[in-house]
Each structure stands twice: as structure tokens, then as C-alpha cells.
Structure 1
């Protein structure tokens, strides 16, 4: 059967979808994968057919990156840049590349997906990477500054497709045949009300051959204990302050500092020395297990890798789903939580010290948190059940 996967966003929004798509391909399905150009290499290295879809150029703007993690309006800003700026173009492109597909597998981050599925009469599976995507309580207090424009432009597309007008057409993106909860069990909410109740399958960790670790980085890592400080593939808010605070905090707890910053690495590297190293990107699965402690933003993909690494964790949520994820880390006693707006040398050193001292107690909790049997296999099995039910 023909499956078209489509997603937009950061690496944490792409890698689990690639893992599911690759398993579907190996199960005999005809698979194509649509995402922005920045992720093309990852998709093709997984052996999948790549379809260009959307843009990630907006990540290069520091003002945009800052705005995307604003507590109340950040998600609306992200959806504007990822979708609404070129909504009609994205709709047209997805309509074009979905020709011949039997099912569209997408995320709520792709606003046009539900419309194309209805127009093409395709089965539609939605993948959410945190309960925050579908929990009503998680979005309480959030403000979408573009709500009126969403309504106007989505209803115009609905009219063209012969679909009825909706008061809040952006909510129709949750109207899937199946919603998969692509996140670890530790993120499951204790209570709450879902917009669309997900079938929780766990978070697939993409397994691919990796290039050997850079020799210079490997040599540096081997010289002594260090903390890995990594705020994701697009978060870069207040980079200079975060970097200076991380360096001093690490020194106070007796650790060297490996700081990862995709967008500010070149500038920050000017301030490095023997005990401080800055990288634009590292493969977390290669580096995290060697760290004495890990500081990160709480994105689902980074969180999963940090738990698998079985190292002390400090989560510093900036916004988006990170705040929700951090609350679950705290609830399950998996690590320390420090709001990103409170980062300074004192607070971060305190959080690192607490995380390290609490690790003997938390190690068993981390081990239990990562137990999840083949989530990509579960996803494909559920996808096939829907395909078979409609074929029969």
C-alpha cells in the first residue's frame, strides 16, 4: 500500500516519523517522506524517497527562534512560520505528492494534512510527540495571534474543496482515523481531557549507522568528566547568557562543559578553552552516555535520548511542549527542572549538583521509564489494521 509521511519542525519531530516510515517500507509498503529541505539528508540516509515540502529557513532568524519559545504565543508563531505563511502553497504541494497514496501519516504540525486527506479520500493517521499536542489543559492560557487569519484562509480552502465552513477550522487537523501517541510512557498525563485521545505506542529511536565520532571531540571527551549542555536543534534564546552560565555552573560542580548550539556555535567558540568545547551539532546517542550530567530543553526526542543514556538530567524548558514534558520529568522524579528564564550560574550549578547527588536514587526510575517494546512495529501494525479494514 502507498503511505505518504509528512512532518515539519525540528529533528525531534522528524526522527520518530522516519523510524516508523522505514519499518513500514521494510514491511513491504510503498513509502514516501515529505519534509523540509533541512532534513532531506536524514530521510535519504534512511533509504526513504524524499519529497520536498515546506521550508525551515525561518529557523535561521534569531528573532523568530526567540518568539517561538514565548510562553503564551510561541506555538502560534511557530505555526505561522511553518504553515500559515505559505498555507495555500503547502496545501497544493501536499495535494500533488499525495497522488497515488492510500494513506497520509502526518502530525498536527502540518495544518494542510487533514484537508488533503479529505479531498483525496485518504486514510489519515496523526502522530503526536507529546501529550501537550492534544491535551486541552496543556494549551490553557495560550494565545494564537493569527487565529482570525487561520479561520479565513482555511475556510477558503475548505470551500474550494467542497467542505463545510467551520468556526475553528484549525481544530479539524485533529480529525484523524487514528491518533498515535509517539512519546514515552513517562509523559503520559496523570489526568486531563484530550482533543483527540491517542493510542500510546512509545517513542521510536531511529537506528541508523553513524559516522565515527569526530576525533577531536572524542579526544576532548576522554580527558575528564564533562556535562553536555544542549538546547535542541532550534532553541537558541539568550545564547550568550546560557553559555556563560553553563560554563561557570560546570566549573562550580567540577565538570568541564560541552555546549551544543546550532545557531551560535561560531560566536560562542571564541570564548572556549581547554575545559570548554562548543559544537554546532552532536549525535546525542554517541555523546550522552559518556557525560557526567546532561542539561537540555526538554524536547521529546532529546528527553528520550537523555533517559536512555542513564545519566543525571537537568531539564530547562523554554516553551512549546517542553514545559509540559518538564512537569512529567518532575512528577516521575527523573531529573531536576529549572525554567530557562531562571538560568544563571547559581541556579544551574545548584540544579546540576542536585541531579548528580540524586542519581543513585533515580537510576532505577530511569531504567523503568525507557521500557517500550518496538514502538515503530506497533505503529505499523495499527496502520495496517486500518488499511486492511477499509480494503475489506
Structure 2
């Protein structure tokens, strides 16, 4: 049986599309190993996949790190250091172990060691980009990686130790996949700019999961009247109380109650809530968004996809990383309102919500068309591309006599 190793790090929006592709591959008869950080184990196993522990997401629990992640110029470099560079050699060893006897690695540009393991084991490598911002040169303009010198020395030392040649810019080698898939909704394409590597854009697959019913108390609260869902996930720490109060008052100004979701600040903020406000650390967006009268979120690709599928007025408040690019595309396509996170206050958020609600009659057909543009199931398309790469690699390996037993 052909074995595929899926490996990814990041937030739920970075995990769910990979889970969808992996589950489809498993149903098609492939052996699948899914490697990611422990915080996502439940999701992986709920999809019926074999979970392998890889990396850590403990750094998300550090407030100073979360604040650094949304710094405009250094945020992505900070994420890559904590997710990859801090334990680079250990991650390489772990993924090499997970990939023993495998026939392919399916990873992302967020996992620095994926291309190294693939190169050392002579395995085909397919990479999934969750936003064009991941693979656009322009998205990096103005960005500063405070760890670039450490990346160069550590990566080249590791390459030397495992028998791979030195590179002048070894951090860029993570883009050297046999094929790169653009795993994002239609509204984010086509990207304007110059690709580091051009993706084959397939759409954003959503995993088919059996979900537990919505908590009874939350379901009762949602049924009591119209509300806006305000979901900033892990991103609001700095000025959390200000963002919360701005959201609550803006919702009141437009006649809505406020369901406020904040993973790290909900308990602290709950003291200031009223009868028309409910705070949660986590909700399943696919269950709650369709019931909201309006949605305010940070613009991450996964959250954006769920909000589009919910067919509700949207305000996006990008904090950083790929969110800024995603928000610009939403604005260009006239799918929702955009308010820079640094400008959040009662007045500006009230205006944005008012515009989103009043423009919904015009925008709804545009959102419907955007969802329809996905076409054939993205996970099916992804597997077709994976199979093409496997076939090509097998043919090349047979010619030079290096094919793995399971691939033949």
C-alpha cells in the first residue's frame, strides 16, 4: 500500500484543509500518517486519521509571543522561529522517523524540515499554500526576519550533517516542492504579483467531520435574538479589553447582541459582560456562523472560508501574517468590509458593521458566486495532483533504479 505522510503546523485554518485531503486519500485506499502538533490531535483523529505527534504549539500560550506574532514586519519570522527553528534538528529527526517507509511527503511552507526529509529520503514532495501570501514575493516586502542569519547557519549545518549540499539561501528551499497546491478559496485568486513558486490553485477543502451538538446554554442564548459573532481567535491580547468593549458597543449600536470568541482572553473579559453579551473561548464556526446576523473576524483563510459559506455580512479586521493580503482581496472582490485591527474602536467598528449589513443585499450574490467557483471537490483535485507526482516520481526512480518497494 502506498503511504502518504501529511505534515503541517499552525492554526486550525492550516490544519483543516490538510485533514480534508488526507481523509479523502485514506478513503481512496492510501495509508495516511498525519503529523502535527498535539493541540490538533483530536481533530485529526476525529477524521479517522492516524496521528503522529510533531512539533509543539505551546508557544501560543505565551502572551508575549502572541503579541509578537502580529508585529507588522517581524510577525511571520517570529512564528517560524518558534514553530521551526527553536527545535530544528529535533523536528528533522522526528519527521524522518515518521516518514520511514513512506512514498511521499505532503507538507506546507510552514514546515521547514519537510523538504529536507524529502530530499534525504528521495521522496516526492507536494506543498500546500493556504494563501497566495505564502508564496508571493510581494507579500514579503517590508518584512524582516530577525533570525535570518541563524536560519542560514543552522540549516546549512543540518544539510551538511545529513549529506545535502550547502545553499546560499537555505530557508528558500522550503519552496522547492515537486508541486505546490494553492489551497484557498476562489476570492483569493488570481494573485497579483510575482510568485516564489507558482501554485496550482484548487480551492479550500473543508473536512467532513461528525460534530458534537452546540452547547445547550450557547444554543439557548443564540436563539434569544439576533447577534453578531466577533471571533479574533488567538490574536487579541494587546488591548484585549479595548477590543472587547468596542465590539460590544458597536453591536449594540447596530441593534445586535455580541457573541465574542477569544481563546486566551475570554475568562478575563467575562467579568465585564452583560445580558446581551456572551463570551466563549472556542466555537465551531461551521455551526455558529450561519446563525449570526453578522460576522467580525481576523481574516485567516480558514475563518474566511467558513464565513463565506455561512452567507452572512462580514467585517474583516486583519492583525497580520496572511490576514492582510486576504482582507485586501475581500475588499477588491466586494465581499465584505475591511477595518485594520489597529483602528478598532466603537465608532469605526459601528460604521463597518452598518456598511456590511446595509450592503448585504448587493454582496450576497457575489459571495454565492465565489463559493460556487470552487467547482469540483478540492480534496479530489488535490489527490489527482498527488497521484500525478507519484506516477512521475516512480517513472524517474525506475529509470535510475531508486524506486521504493511500495511505490512499484
TM-score computed with the length of structure 2 as normaliser: 0.95
Distance 1:12 1:233 in 2: 12
Unaligned runs of 5+ in 1: none
Question: Aligned residue for 1:369?
Answer: 370
SS of residue matched to 1:149:
helix
Q: Secondary structure at the match of 1:28?
A: coil
Q: Within the alignment, does 1:387 sit opposite 2:395 as a pair? A: no
SS at 1:71's partner residue? coil
8 Å Cα contact 1:10-1:234 kept in structure 2: no
**1:391 positional shift:** 2.3
Q: Secondary structure at the match of 1:231?
A: strand
Q: Per-residue CA shift, 1:90-138, capped at 9, x if unaligned?
A: 0111111110110000000000111110001111000000000000011
| Aligned 8 A contact 2:67 2:235 in 1 | no
Are positions 1:26 and 2:27 aligned together? Answer: yes
- Whether contact under 8 Å (1:11, 1:233) holds in the other structure is no
For 1:217 and 1:15, the matched residues in 2 are separated by 24
The 1-side partners of 2:384 and 2:234 are apart by 31
Contact 1:59/1:234 (<8 A) preserved:
no
Matches within 5 A, 1:125-204: 125-204=126-205
Give matches, 1:168-247, under 5 Å: 168-233=169-234, 236-247=237-248
Contact 1:10 1:233 in 2 (8 A): no
1:378 paired residue number? 381
Equivalence for 2:275: 274
Within 5 Å, give how 1:71-150 maps onto structure 2.
Answer: 71-150=72-151
Q: Distance in 1 between matches of 2:93 and 2:394?
A: 27
Query: Higher mean Cα deviation, 132-141 or 183-192?
Result: 183-192
How big is each residue's C-alpha offset from its partner over 1:330-374, in whole Å with a ceiling of 9 and x where there is no partner? 000000000000000000000000000000000000001112120
Q: For the Cα contact (< 8 Å) 2:66–2:234, is it kept in 1?
A: no
Report the 3-state secondary structure (helix = DSSP H, G, I; strand = E; otherwise coil) of the residue aligned with 2:321: coil
Counterparts of 2:193 and 2:281, CA distance in 1: 38
What TM-score results when the alignment is normalised by the length of structure 1? 0.99
Partner Cα separation in structure 2 for residue 162 and residue 211 of structure 1: 48
Output the CA distance in 1 between the equivalents of 2:355 and 2:172: 41
Give the Cα separation in 2 of the matches to 1:215 and 1:326. Answer: 33
RMSD of Structure 2 on Structure 1 (CA):
0.9
Residue 43 of structure 2 corresponds to which residue in structure 1?
Answer: 42
Q: Structure 2 matches for 1:252-271, cutoff 5 A?
A: 252-271=253-272
Distance 2:4 2:54 in 1: 16
> Alpha-carbon deviation of 1:240?
1.4
Residue correspondences, number:
392
Distance (whole Å) between structure 2 residues aligned to residue 109 and residue 235 of structure 1: 22
What secondary structure is seen at the aligned counterpart in 2 of 1:370? helix
Change (3 A) 1:190 1:93: closer
Q: CA deviation digits over 1:186-205, x for unaligned, max 9?
A: 10145211000000000001
Quote the offset at 1:272 in angstroms. 1.5
